Structure 1
Amino acid sequence: MSSSSNTTPSIGVLGLGIIGGTWARHYHDAGRLAGAWNRTAKPDFPQWQDEPAAVTRAADVVQIVVADPPAVQSVIDAILPELGPGKTVIQSSTIDPDSSDKFKVAVIATGARYLEAPFTGSKPAAEAKQSVYYLGGTTELCDELDPLLALGSAHRIRIGDNRQACTLKLAMNLRVSVQMQVLAESLEMCRRSGIDDDTYFGALKPNITYSGLDKLKEPQLRHADFAPLFSVKHMHKDMRLAASMDSTADLELLKTIRTQLAAAENAGFGDEDFAALAKLFMKA
């Protein structure tokens, strides 16, 4: 499908948090945003609607970007009466495969189409249109929606079916959270020996393990600035979902990072960036 305004469908965004709100503004700037809604009202947001159903009536495609499976369920329940042939639901919240199956069945039963489209990339990536989608759906549907999703992302990767897309997203967040734990522990190990941060990060950059996460989190760790790009509570939720899968019972790093994220949330860091895992080691 061409990306011209005559052929790209209109879209509504349900959930205007850090990521959903950023994507919605990209769609608005491109002239494709038909409606926007958030549980906490944001009436000054472009194309604001008071109810999810109103967004669904106005848009060809609705994209759900909320916190967890119960939140997705509440949105699905609200929009089902407005779904039918000609409508498409893009589900971009991080959820588990079983929940995805349930939502897909409910949407398809109306005659609408369903695409599982979790993503990777926190606030800076979303603002720079560098988000990466993991798509679970048919090749035809992925190709049709590609010009629309391209308005706010750098890559759209077809993974397979909806369950596989959810699984890969959770697997990637396992990697990210474990890498953050390793970064926090190794930095603290050096700080306790008197190695300063300039030396630590200077040695890390030419190391084979240096990653995009290290680059992103270095300023936060240096300055103890844990303003949320992706919060502890949301990463903890994702790891709980990963642990709920039958296939993950013997994954030891998953167990460990869940324990650390729980400790961070219990310490009052839930609304801070998940780099606040490092605060568990900091002296009061």
Structure 2
Amino acid sequence: MALLNKNRKSVGVIGLGIIGTRVAAGLRHAGFNTCVWNRTPRPAPNFLGSPIEVAQECDVIQLFVADAKAVMETIEALAPALKPEHLIVCNATIGLEGTLAAAERVRQTGARFLDAPFTGSKGAADKRQLVYYIGGEEQDFLRAKPILEATSKAIVHIGSVGQAAVVKVVTNLISAVTVQTLAEALAIVRRSGIRPEALAEAIESNAMRSGVTDLKLPAMLTGDYSPHFALKHMFKDVQLGIEIANKLELDVPATSTVGGVMYGAVMKGLGDLDYAAVSKLYDNHTVAPKAAPAAAQ
């Protein structure tokens, strides 16, 4: 482990899931004094006893929790210790309304808030190559930038608080729809009696090849759905996208259909697997799975 730089402020990381654990390790690697907390205790360096203890030790706190409810619960737990010098960096994907509500609650304490969702799964976090989308004031962005640079390959300042949340959600919609169509394509190839590897070979020189196809098709071919980004979390993000579209009175048929298929996959117990596991719905090479009713989305 790299020696800690005593001249740097301590950074807090709350939420030690797939990404939070790796971000904390990346911050330590970069020399930041890093304090962590998780609802379920973990054997991690500088694991503190509560969010309040994190706030007492750290002026900048990154949140890597699962959803809007967890974000608000964490902020409420932090609130008694928050002061004007604190900056809460929300890295969770919680959509527009959740982000605005979290920002308002933080501001009520006198602290600062930065909307900073990320893209990149376990592999990118391991390599400290996440991409952060930023929504917030310039002064807060500049303050957080050295911290975010320690675990990222790029940082994109989108605009005001909430705007980064929207961009993050819609980029996940693209990934979700891409993976669903990839699963369908693979099912068609298999049922046609074509060797599955031929699809990968064809895509390699095709204009539609992308980072998503490079990551997810090998998982589908091998059946290894170890979670890099869990299906239940992608389903949550698809729901957030549908909510945003509904408020804007936009019809999003592809997203809605994928949401229905993911709902069915989660109900079948696939939620903790990688979201490429939608391909498992075709394991018997039968007809395509039916989407859930719209009300279930």
Q: Aligned partners of 1:175, 1:60: CA distance in 2, in Å?
A: 35
Does the residue aligned with 2:162 lie in a helix, a strand or coil? helix
Does the 8 Å contact 1:35/1:49 carry over to 2? yes
Does the 8 Å contact 2:6/2:33 carry over to 1? no
The corresponding residue for 1:38 is 38
- Structure 1's unaligned 5+ residue stretches are none
Q: Which amino acid aligns with 1:107?
A: V
Q: Which amino acid aligns with 2:40?
A: T
Q: Which amino acid aligns with 2:115?
A: E
The corresponding residue for 1:183 is 182
TM-score by length of 2: 0.91
After superposition, the CA RMSD in angstroms is 1.5
The corresponding residue for 2:253 is 252
The corresponding residue for 2:152 is 153
The corresponding residue for 2:25 is 25
The corresponding residue for 2:135 is 136
Does the residue aligned with 2:153 lie in a helix, a strand or coil? strand
Q: Aligned partners of 2:81, 2:152: CA distance in 1, in Å?
A: 27
Q: Aligned partners of 1:234, 1:100: CA distance in 2, in Å?
A: 16
Does the residue aligned with 2:103 lie in a helix, a strand or coil? helix
C-alpha deviation, 1:50, in angstroms: 1.6
Does the 8 Å contact 2:134/2:155 carry over to 1? yes
How many residues end up aligned between the 2 structures? 280
Structure 1 residues 248 and 46, CA, compared in 2 at 3 Å: closer, same or farther?
Answer: farther
Does the 8 Å contact 2:133/2:164 carry over to 1? yes
The corresponding residue for 2:201 is 202
1:212 counterpart = 2:211: yes
Q: Aligned partners of 1:34, 1:220: CA distance in 2, in Å?
A: 33
- Structure 2's unaligned 5+ residue stretches are 286-297
C-alpha deviation, 1:254, in angstroms: 1.4
Does the 8 Å contact 1:115/1:162 carry over to 2? yes
Q: Deviations over 1:190-236 (max 9, x none)?
A: 11111112211111110010011111113211110111001111111
Q: Which amino acid aligns with 1:84?
A: K
Q: Which stretch of structure 1 is more off in the superposition, 206-215 or 8-17?
A: 8-17
Q: Aligned partners of 1:45, 1:249: CA distance in 2, in Å?
A: 45
Q: Which amino acid aligns with 1:22?
A: R
Q: Aligned partners of 1:159, 1:248: CA distance in 2, in Å?
A: 23
Q: Aligned partners of 2:75, 2:128: CA distance in 1, in Å?
A: 27
Q: Which amino acid aligns with 2:274?
A: D
The corresponding residue for 1:48 is 47
Does the 8 Å contact 1:8/1:148 carry over to 2? no
Q: Which stretch of structure 1 is more off in the superposition, 242-251 or 192-201?
A: 242-251
C-alpha deviation, 1:33, in angstroms: 3.3
C-alpha deviation, 1:102, in angstroms: 1.3
Does the residue aligned with 2:148 lie in a helix, a strand or coil? helix
Which aligned pairs between 1:1-284 and structure 2 lie closer than 5 A? 5=5, 8-42=8-42, 44-245=43-244, 246-247=247-248, 249-283=250-284
Q: Aligned partners of 2:8, 2:35: CA distance in 1, in Å?
A: 15
Q: Which amino acid aligns with 2:195?
A: D
Does the residue aligned with 1:162 lie in a helix, a strand or coil? coil
Does the 8 Å contact 2:35/2:58 carry over to 1? yes
Does the 8 Å contact 2:119/2:168 carry over to 1? yes
Q: Which amino acid aligns with 2:36?
A: A
Q: Aligned partners of 2:273, 2:34: CA distance in 1, in Å?
A: 32
C-alpha deviation, 1:96, in angstroms: 1.6
Does the 8 Å contact 1:28/1:46 carry over to 2? no
The corresponding residue for 2:295 is none
Does the 8 Å contact 1:90/1:115 carry over to 2? yes
TM-score by length of 1: 0.95
